[in-house]
Chains A and B, each alone.
Chain A
């Protein structure tokens, strides 16, 4: 199929100003930006897009039954644009000896068990759609697949990356710092033709990042060095920064792109993952960075810099000790203090444990609050694709037109019953230009693989996920 031309899309200053309080993004001088120069060639067609949105730890199946009155409440304002699917199971993705956080997370969007530590068991939905609709690649200058996220737990890749090629390898390098995502989107190095070089460059840069962190440490108050030696190491650090600038400077960026956002205040890389022991973080720190990430990602979509990819809000089995007062719609939902409430430090004090303790006979108030928060943040991202800035030529928003799949890792959280844990995994999808039903909470009671394959077929994708000889059992109930 012939690839579609890039659409013309004005981006208003307002798009960028919705960032949360303390995080600000510099803006270009123009009130409007036109990121595509293909405007003249524009046709009124709506491009095909597919994105996977993942959030960690899941929503236990019994809580999903409460609908928008329960933890799904934050999705309520968008309910007309979503199909919430209950009863989707990934039991087939169970891998013996690997915990369900990982199995479940790998199964999200692929319906397959992982293949080792760094590979999924097959392609993800967005990549299947991309290959069908853009067999010759995306239009030049576009980011073929954009993978981003705000998360800390890493260890295995499927915990936090959610776009995979058919061979199970990651479809694009994870951009976990807002700045990195920004450069990936608005830097001109990001062309479709040099993905491999870009990847190598990105990895080498991560080496330099680690080196910079080491030099920073030895110039910090924790340094074992005396003042004189510290000054020497500081000099070295300055030279590294200079080198970094020269070696990795943005080769140029898309004309009129916004200014580079401020550096991240959160831990990234190895420091963010102290061996699975978890990190302390405030609600404000977490949401500020996530929302910046979400806004940049949304900007990449609304400016048509990317059409495929995935976005992660907290990894599978995420371990954070969250603190802060959580309010929603003017009412206080909960005061987060995982470590204090669990009276534990380290992994034992993390929110993750509320999932292990889930008991449908009890109130589960902490789990509820965390799950509610996750959906609020997912909804925040979705709502960015549903604004006047996100209108497609057909007069509908990107949220209406794109295939956006929202899922998570588990339908329970207790590790004592794999079947239960991988059953009833929360799913929601958008209407994809009227292809799927919306405005419903549907008990589909089907295998994830069948649901995904039904979605792919409806999207016009000829290939299928899962074992080649497995007959498709269509889940008709989701099709519009």
Chain B
């Protein structure tokens, strides 16, 4: 028996389409609906067919295999394990990781496909149990006569897990049955039988009292005195509550888990995505792209690569030996003038060609492989200085900005942003500052009033009230429930204080100080352990991601409450949360942090152009430029809710009289005023603002400005110049403007390969001098131009423009530029450089966002709903 298909039951649950698929699967043997995997912490499918070990097939390491202690009592069926007499199937070790994971999430699912031997066994007869003995447990799924019964230990239940959640009668009968029990963090429990809700109950309060020393047992109590007789077909445990839809999906997937291994062709395609595309991006595409296509060969597109170049085909699928590409790489003839491929890269290339040279991607975009060496690394995020300030403010109501900025070392930029997790290191000064700041913060708090938010108790006793008090306060300050170990640790401070003669208030002060320095406050801790596959975040982890991404601060009460109730799931609920959060002023502030970081506006405070060339420059003009960009961004993104691409060409800006005059505009009033930029002024969008134009330095360098456009708007890549090249540009002179110099470089055979990609992007900005003032001729009297051309990465031919305004319009309308804006925002949201594995998800985020107007709000919504935010990478245990 593989599974039963009670048409009437499934029909009532699933759409007609799904029914057809399910029925067809049973008949034809075609793929069944997949089981839900996210949150899976243990899976037993009894496919061993022999032996005394039941393997954990969840993929989570270390796996929790079970040992059959009385092998004579069981019989392997191939699709299950028939328990004919009292047996114990038990993990050799405590199920510590599983229990830890569930304690962290406060939610779980226990699922089983079983065929009970009879409808009379009781005890309840243990089907799946995490317990110590018949009266002490974390959780047990059992059969009590003809009903299923689940006992779960929580604050509202006793050590034995009573009161239990019991199904209706007449459901535990001798036939193949699917049973699933879920518990969400707010304490609600549900029991589903064959996909249908069969009971709802409550096991309220924290799971902090769960004992990590319990082992996992099947078909009996650990002590061997509550046997279940019948057949076990599948048992699974999740560290999150499955939704009713998930339960139905698992029911529909049937009693036999279906995990087909990849075919050789699929393996070859995977090898391309994971090894070959990054290899081409790193070593080949520099010269073999549509624009340069050395030797007539373009290795960025599948069709072009297989077509070959001037020497004919270079790849013979299935035969590396006859492939010119392999020959030239194996002999180190290629890459020309660069280091040869490593032995492992060569081996991968050989295997890929011999395996059929699958090319599942349309185009290899080198930029997505730029950070491939960081793929798979999961860096915990320390709060940045602004995040720390916002977190303190939200958590305890204390404004600590001045002291924090003074004491904490500044976060350093990496990959364009200063919230890049891998770069958020910690040195002695941080530790000292966190300690001092904690003391200052608590010193400014009304501690008794704060403590009373969580409990009216002022008891120091750690046997009861203080523990509850600490647990509640910790949930708020540390953004998720505390486990017992943590409660013990913080309560320990209370006892130390009291044994030194201190009182309740002093104890609370010190506990607060400790919490404010703890890893769970200073870092955004997430669970990274698992099967190595991405997993869905727990509700509390997701609440934190939402708040730090949208607000740059901690979750508010509503978010934490939603997490506790398992309500941060489903598109509608999440969209509603995001919509609510985007209305909060913190969302605006966070977006301004983005633009500050992206354009590195901090730079403006330190800029010192040559006073003799730019006598009009002063600190307040620099500050005006910075503020101009902030106001412009806020206007376009928030006040007018325009597509993000309008940042490139919106014909408006904000300026003080001083800045307006600097730009050649007629000042319109005191302070910052909005200016409509007339056609022909050459100015529109951020590229024409002083904050960006100053990137070119005093000489308004075509190289620096062009690289900015290439990197930040076009996501283009160029390699560093060869080591022997003199990169100090010659000065301009009469008859030779910056543009003239650029054209010389582009014409040079050695330099032009790369410079052709970015310098023409800045031609349109030549009429803005080093500090952003308009000019029509340079200091030597050379007439300046603003026409040029754009070579979009991946394209063969450049597109010409006649003026800077046309350049801005061209860029704003470009899909590539719009995508790049998405990438930038996503990178800041995630706090890490984007890698190849993100590319498909980014595409989807971009598509959804564009469909909804391409605005900041639509983009943020798409980001937080995407797997980029909903899931996290995991690592297998070392």
- Please report A residues at the B interface, Cβ cutoff 8 Å: 117-118, 154-157, 160-161, 169-170, 173-174, 199, 202-204, 206-208, 210-211, 213-215, 217-218, 222, 224-229, 232-233, 235-236, 239-240, 242-243, 247, 268-276, 345-346
**Do A346 and B489 form a contact, CB below 8 Å, given A117-B461, A222-B100?**
no
The distance in angstroms between the C-alpha atoms of A250 and B413, with both chains bound, is 38
B463 at the interface (CB under 8 A from A): yes
Candidates A118, A217, A239; contact of B485 at CB < 8 Å: A217
| In the complex, chain A residues whose CB is within 8 Å of the CB of B460 | 117-118, 156
**CA gap between A157 and B208 in the complex, in Å:** 25
Contacts of B485 in A (CB 8 A): 217, 271
Q: Are A170 and B426 in contact (CB under 8 A)?
A: no
In this complex, which of B96, B493, B506 has the most chain A Cβ atoms within 10 angstroms of its Cβ? B493
Let me know if B461 and A170 touch, CB within 8 A.
Answer: no
Q: Contact check, A157 vs B499: say whether CB atoms are below 8 A apart.
A: yes
Say whether, besides A226-B875, A274-B484, A160 and B499 are in contact (CB < 8 Å): yes
Q: Given A170-B499, A174-B500, A228–B378 Cβ distance below 8 Å?
A: yes
B498 on interface, CB distance cutoff 8 Å: yes
Q: Give bound CA distance, A456 to B807, whole Å.
A: 97
- A218 with B525: in contact, given A173-B500, A239-B428, A345-B136 (CB under 8 Å)? yes
B200: Cβ under 8 A from any A Cβ: no
Least CB distance from A252 to B in Å reads 22
Question: Given A118-B502, A210-B490, A229-B380: A270 and B495 within 8 A (CB)?
Answer: yes
Q: Is B430 an interface residue (CB 8 A)?
A: yes
B380 touches A271 (CB 8 A): no
Say how far B294's CB is from chain A's closest CB, in angstroms: 38
Contact (Cβ within 8 A) B378 A229: yes
The reply to whether B495 and A273 contact each other, CB–CB distance below 8 Å, is yes
In residues 81-110 of chain B, which contact A (Cβ within 8 Å)? 96, 100-101, 104
Whether A155 contacts B461 by the Cβ 8 Å rule is: yes
B569 within 8 A of partner (CB): no
> Across the interface, do A225 and B96 meet the contact criterion of CB distance under 8 Å?
no
The answer to whether A270 and B462 touch across the interface, beta carbons within 8 angstroms, is yes
Question: 30 interchain pairs (CB within 8 A)?
Answer: A117-B459, A117-B460, A118-B501, A118-B502, A154-B462, A155-B462, A203-B497, A203-B506, A204-B510, A206-B496, A206-B510, A211-B518, A214-B518, A218-B525, A222-B96, A225-B378, A225-B529, A226-B875, A228-B379, A229-B378, A235-B426, A236-B430, A242-B428, A243-B428, A243-B431, A270-B489, A273-B492, A275-B491, A345-B133, A346-B136
Q: Which of chain A's residues has its CB closest to B432's CB?
A: A243
A225 touches B528 (CB 8 A): yes
Task: Please name all residues of chain B whose beta carbon is closer than 8 Å to the beta carbon of A161 when the two chains form the complex.
Answer: 499
Nearest to A216 among chain B residues (CB) is B519
Q: Of the candidates B425, B499, B518, which one forms a contact with A154 in the assembled complex, judged by CB atoms under 8 Å apart? A: B499
Q: What residue in chain A is nearest B530 (Cβ atoms)?
A: A226
Closest CB-CB distance, B270 to chain A, in whole Å?
A: 22
Q: Is B782 engaged at the interface, CB distance under 8 Å to the other chain?
A: no
- Separation of A243 and B514 alpha carbons in the complex (Å): 15
Asked if B492 contacts A272 (CB within 8 A), the reply is yes
Assess the B500–A202 pair: CB atoms within 8 A.
yes
**Which chain A residues border B104 with CB–CB below 8 Å?**
224
**Do A213 and B425 contact each other (CB < 8 Å), given the known contacts A224-B104, A229-B528?**
no
Which residue of B has the minimal Cβ distance to A200? Answer: B500
Contact A224–B528 (Cβ < 8 Å)? yes
Q: Please, which residue of chain A has its CB at the minimum distance from the CB of B513?
A: A207
Closest chain B CB from A122 CB (angstroms): 14
Q: Are A239 and B431 in contact (CB under 8 A)?
A: yes
Known pairs A118-B503, A224-B529 / 4 extra A-B pairs, C-beta < 8 Å: A154-B492, A155-B462, A233-B380, A239-B431
Q: Are A275 and B132 in contact (CB under 8 A)?
A: no
Contact B488 A226 (CB under 8 A): no
* CB of B385 to closest CB in A, whole Å: 16
How far does the alpha carbon of A117 sit from the alpha carbon of B462 in the complex, in Å?
10
Task: Decide yes or no whether B840 CB sits under 8 A from chain A.
Answer: no
Q: How far is the CB of B621 from chain A (nearest CB, A)?
A: 41
Q: How far, in angstroms, from A229 to B874 measured CA to CA in the complex?
A: 11
Q: Are B159 and A346 in contact (CB under 8 A)?
A: yes
Q: Is the CB of B378 within 8 A of A232?
A: no
B427 adjacent to chain A (CB < 8 Å):
yes
CA distance A271 to B499 in the complex (A): 16
Bound-complex Cα distance A305 to B214 (A): 48
Q: Closest residue of chain A to B459, judged by CB?
A: A117
Are A170 and B501 in touch, CB under 8 angstroms?
yes
Please tell me if the beta carbons of A232 and B380 are within 8 angstroms of each other in the complex. yes
Is the CB–CB distance between A274 and B488 below 8 Å?
yes
Quick check: B510 and A236 within 8 Å, CB to CB?
no
Contact with A along B501-531 (1 / 0, CB 8 A): 1110010001001100111101101111100
What CA separation (Å) do A273 and B484 show in the bound complex?
11
Task: Compute how far the CA of A213 lies from the CA of B497 in the bound complex, rounded to whole angstroms.
Answer: 17
- B379–A232 CB distance below 8 A: yes
Q: How far is the CA of A431 from the CA of B848 in the complex (A)?
A: 88
Judged by a CB distance under 8 angstroms, whether B704 is at the interface is no
Q: Which residues of B contact A (CB under 8 A)?
A: 96, 100-101, 104, 132-133, 136, 159, 211, 377-380, 382, 422, 425-428, 430-432, 435, 439, 459-464, 467, 484-493, 495-503, 506, 510, 513-514, 517-520, 522-523, 525-529, 873-875, 878
Measured between alpha carbons, how far is A233 from B378 in the docked complex, in Å?
A: 13
What chain B residues lie within 8 Å of A236 (beta carbons)?
426, 430-431, 519, 522
Of the residues A170, A203, A214, contact of B486 by C-beta under 8 Å = A214
**CB of B333 to closest CB in A, whole Å:** 37
Nearest CB on A from B612, distance (A): 46
Given contacts A218-B519, A226-B874, A236-B426, whether A269 and B501 have CB atoms under 8 Å apart is no
Instruction: Evaluate contact between B519 and A233: CB separation under 8 angstroms.
Output: yes
Distance in Å from the Cβ of A369 to the closest Cβ of chain B? 25
5 smallest beta-carbon distances between A and B, as pairs: A270-B492, A269-B492, A226-B875, A226-B528, A229-B380
The CA-CA distance from A160 to B492 in the complex, in Å, is 14
Cβ B495 vs Cβ A203 within 8 A: no
For B529, the chain A residues whose CB sits under 8 A away are: 224-226
Q: Which of A211, A235, A276 contacts B514 (CB 8 A)?
A: A211
- The CA-CA distance from A243 to B428 in the complex, in Å, is 7
Question: Considering the chains assembled together, what is the distance between the CA atoms of A208 and B428 in angstroms?
Answer: 14
A435 to B46, CA, bound (A): 79
Residues of A within 8 A of B523 (CB): 233
B498, A118: Cβ atoms closer than 8 Å: yes
Instruction: Contacts A173-B500, A224-B526 given; indicate if A210 touches B463 (C-beta within 8 A).
Output: no
Neighbouring B residues of A240 by C-beta, 8 Å: 431
B481 to A: closest C-beta gap in Å: 13
Taking a contact as CB atoms closer than 8 A, the residue among B430, B487, B496 that contacts A203 in the complex is B496
CB <8 Å contact, A270 and B502: no
Return chain A residues, CB-CB under 8 Å to B425.
232, 235
Q: Which residue of B lies closest to A271 (CB)?
A: B488
Minimum C-beta distance from A38 to chain B (A)? 30
Find the A residue at minimum CB distance from B874: A226
Q: Min CB distance, A278 to chain B, in Å?
A: 12
Residues of A with C-beta under 8 A to B526 = 224
By beta carbon, the residue of chain B nearest A244 is B431
- Closest CB in chain A relative to B71 CB, distance in Å: 28
Q: Are B426 and A232 in contact (CB under 8 A)?
A: yes
Instruction: Provide the residues of chain B in CB contact with A160, threshold 8 Å.
Output: 499
Residues of A within 8 Å of B487, CB to CB, are 270, 275
Alpha-carbon distance A154/B529, docked complex (angstroms): 35
Instruction: Indicate whether A229 sits within 8 Å of B432 (C-beta atoms), given known contacts A199-B500, A236-B519.
Output: no
User: B492 to A227, Cβ gap below 8 A?
Assistant: no
Contacts of B527 in A (CB 8 A): 224-225
When chains A and B are docked, how far (Å) is the Cα of A228 from the Cα of B136? 37
CA distance A218 to B523 in the complex (A): 11
Chain A residues near B432 (CB-CB < 8 A): 243, 247
Report the Cα distance A345→B132, complex, angstroms: 9
Shortest Cβ gap from A144 to chain B (Å): 14
Chain B: CB-nearest residue to A147 = B499
Bound complex: CA A312 to CA B213 (Å): 30
B contact residues around A156 at 8 Å (CB): 460-461, 498
| Nearest-neighbor residue (CB-CB) of A174 within chain B | B499
B510 touches A203 (CB 8 A): yes
